[in-house]
Structure 1
Amino acid sequence: MLCIRTFSFLALLATLFTTAACGGGSGGDGAPSATASLSFTATDAEIPNPERGFYRWAWNDLASLSVDDMKDAYTNGYRIVYALLRLDAYRNSAIPDSLLARLESSAAQARANGVKLLVRVAYNYPGSETDYLNAQDASLTQTLAHIAQLKPFFQNNADVIAFVQAGFIGAWGEWHTSSNGLASTENRTQIKDALLDAVPSSRFVQFRYPPYLMAWTPSLPTLEAALQGRYRMGVHNDCFLASQTDLGTYSSDATTRASQQSYAAALGLLAPFGGETCNPADEAGAQPRTRCADIQAEGAKYALSYLNDEYYRDLFHANWIANGCMARVKRSMGYRIELVSASHPQSLNRGDRLDLSLTVRNSGWARIFNPRAIEILLRDGTGTVRRLAAGGADPRRWLPGKDSQITLSATLPADLPTGQHALLLALPDPARRLAGDARYAIRPANADDAARGQAWSAELGAFSLGSGLEVR
């Protein structure tokens, strides 16, 4: 049993006696139980959370991730690491078993150090945005064979994969300038289908160009289709804000471009949108959008979840810092979950159902995309903690810019010790290998409040609600 105390039990009792009450619930003798009503204070603090925010590159190829690399990323606030797999040496041959084994070791390094990976596979990586026309990729047959070889890696390590960028085709794996015709309509569709088969249904695959997604899915499905894993395609824009067309991401025709941008914006509620800024030098007359107003408006419009923190900083990041919006950009990118209010019965019998009503606010630009669990934690007077899986809500439904009213339910175990229990809320990763790792839990954007007994527990990966339950 894990025994953690974030505030004294006497403080909890004081909180209980001063908590507002109204009718509802059931007491130990079957009589109505008083209801605790709680409120929470949001914070503007920067809070690193899984699968969102600025990312940095891995120091080495995906097949060679190191302990020091992953540890450094986590320590410096990165929760996504861009991990490129270079297959230049295998354009005409199978991936050797030794390399596949190293991929498993790299995933283990990420898992051991609290980060997740943004994965892309490429057959080349030109040194500049104007030096790519002669980049070489593989044949369609070899590409499909490589995807099939990588399927076990994707399936076995979905827990530490945030998102997959489609890769493989052309320079940088960005789905243009293929030396083997992979960017044709027929070939890219085959590669898309192979990738969606290889990557687990719990993870999204992102593609470089919105027009390709528009051709595959002219009418976007409902959110329900995305939640059920029936739609898993998103966009990564690797020239975000760089020019009127984002250097060819969108059409040069204004009417067509507006349609493509509207599609990409609508897609942002279904699938993750991310990428990087880039050098506009490859487009004559480019006018990059570098103001704070630009990143704030378009970050919200496209539901930006992540962005490269290391590329082309002088034109974009430096301006955001100089003009005072970088802190807001960091807070807004991806989801940002705040507890607003809560209520629950103050006493129940063992075996009763505990209903915890919550209002949560997502003040970020995007929603949570990957599956996420919810737990109610009960901590008794000795500091012993019992975790209860809570039903009644799916955090992926907490849409950006909106409040969600939910009721979480959990049955009190028959062997739960009687007496007072402090209540905590946790949003752990549901994957078996990560569920008990507090580093992978989502921390709500709420301020600690000692007077209320509200505080984040880094050890438990849970937020103390500042209230308690009498178990009889």
Structure 2
Amino acid sequence: MTRLPKTLLLLFAVCNLSLRSTNAVCSTCDNLISVPAGYTEVTYTETPEELQNPNRGFLKLNSAKSSSYRPLKVSSLERYRSEDGITMHWRQFVLDEFVSSDITKEFLDNIRSDLETIRNARFTTVTRILYVKEMPENGEAPYGDATKEWMLRHIEQLSPIFSEYEDVIDVVQAGFIGVWGEWYYTTHFGDPHHRDYDNPDNIDGYTPQQWQDRKEVLFALIDSVPSSMLVTLHF
């Protein structure tokens, strides 16, 4: 990663302050015949190396199911960096064992362990929490996601982790609801196969209560993360 030298930044700041205090005119780069006292001249040359932009670019996706957890490894992340120039990870945590119960301390510690691995590898991550990754064979409800009450409880449990790893988590995706955490095929927040378009109170076939329940989950998640952390919503 390439950064502007502090000397250049300081030069800009000093010039700006000088103009404010003296009403003078700052010399342009063409008029700077010599380097001012106390400053250093820096000459940049082109490099063929890939410059890895932190917190941007392509991601590698891995999922961690509570029922079959496999931890992340620093060596895997370092391989992504060396082979693909990737410095961001997309980690999905699947709470398939906790649809109707608290997240256990063991799995909360597993989440922390993965985030610590990402930190040690000098990566950052996009994180999504969900309950189910596969559609039922018949394509119909129940789909396997949790109720609003359990989602709110799980968000409460996860909130300390979001704060602990504020430097690691770039984005928390608003998963939770529906298959894949995509807010569509959901048992408790409006089944897309059974929308009621005839009721004038409904919006897009979903009831006001279903929209309110979705809003409560989203706002609870927003309130649970540090103010510097982004929350993104599918669709």
Q: Secondary structure at the match of 2:145?
A: coil
Q: Is the 8 A contact 1:120 1:165 kept in 2?
A: yes
Quick one: distance in 2 between partners of 1:56 and 1:127?
Answer: 23
Q: Is the 8 A contact 1:65 1:106 kept in 2?
A: yes
Task: Specify which structure has the higher proportion of strand.
Answer: 1
Quick one: distance in 2 between partners of 1:107 and 1:100?
Answer: 11
Partner of 2:72: 65
Deviation at 1:139, TM superposition (A): 0.6
Deviation at 1:115, TM superposition (A): 1.2
Matches within 5 A, 1:252-291: none
Deviation at 1:87, TM superposition (A): 0.7
Change (3 A) 1:106 1:131: farther
Q: Secondary structure at the match of 2:58?
A: strand
Change (3 A) 1:179 1:104: same
Quick one: distance in 2 between partners of 1:67 and 1:38?
Answer: 36
Find 2:58's aligned residue among 54, 58, 64. Answer: 54
Deviations 1:262-292 (A, max 9, x none): xxxxxxxxxxxxxxxxxxxxxxxxxxxxxxx
Letter in 2 for 1:200: P
Deviation at 1:156, TM superposition (A): 0.2
Letter in 2 for 1:204: L
Quick one: distance in 2 between partners of 1:205 and 1:59?
Answer: 19
Deviations 1:333-370 (A, max 9, x none): xxxxxxxxxxxxxxxxxxxxxxxxxxxxxxxxxxxxxx
Deviation at 1:104, TM superposition (A): 1.3
Find 2:229's aligned residue among 188, 203, 211. Answer: 203
Is residue 2:81 matched to residue 1:74?
yes
Deviation at 1:176, TM superposition (A): 1.1
Matches within 5 A, 1:238-257: none
Partner of 1:243: none
Q: Give the length in aligned residue pairs.
A: 183
Q: What are the ranges of 5 or more consecutive residues in structure 1 without an aligned counterpart? A: 1-19, 28-32, 210-472
TM-score (norm 1): 0.35
- Higher mean C-alpha deviation, range 109-118 or range 44-53: 44-53
Quick one: distance in 1 between partners of 2:185 and 2:228?
Answer: 31
Q: Is the 8 A contact 1:61 1:83 kept in 2?
A: no
Deviations 1:287-313 (A, max 9, x none): xxxxxxxxxxxxxxxxxxxxxxxxxxx
Change (3 A) 1:91 1:44: same
Change (3 A) 1:127 1:88: same
Quick one: distance in 2 between partners of 1:204 and 1:119?
Answer: 11
Quick one: distance in 2 between partners of 1:126 and 1:42?
Answer: 48
Q: Is the 8 A contact 2:87 2:123 kept in 1?
A: yes
Quick one: distance in 2 between partners of 1:44 and 1:195?
Answer: 43
RMSD of aligned C-alpha atoms? 3.1
Partner of 2:113: 105
Matches within 5 A, 1:292-303: none
Partner of 1:190: 216
Q: Secondary structure at the match of 2:59?
A: strand
Q: Secondary structure at the match of 1:84?
A: strand
Deviation at 1:196, TM superposition (A): 0.9
Q: Secondary structure at the match of 1:159?
A: coil
Q: Secondary structure at the match of 1:186?
A: helix
Deviation at 1:141, TM superposition (A): 0.5
Percent pairwise identity? 29
Deviation at 1:54, TM superposition (A): 1.0
Q: What are the ranges of 5 or more consecutive residues in structure 2 without an aligned counterpart? A: 1-30, 191-205
Q: Is the 8 A contact 1:137 1:169 kept in 2?
A: yes
Change (3 A) 1:40 1:61: farther
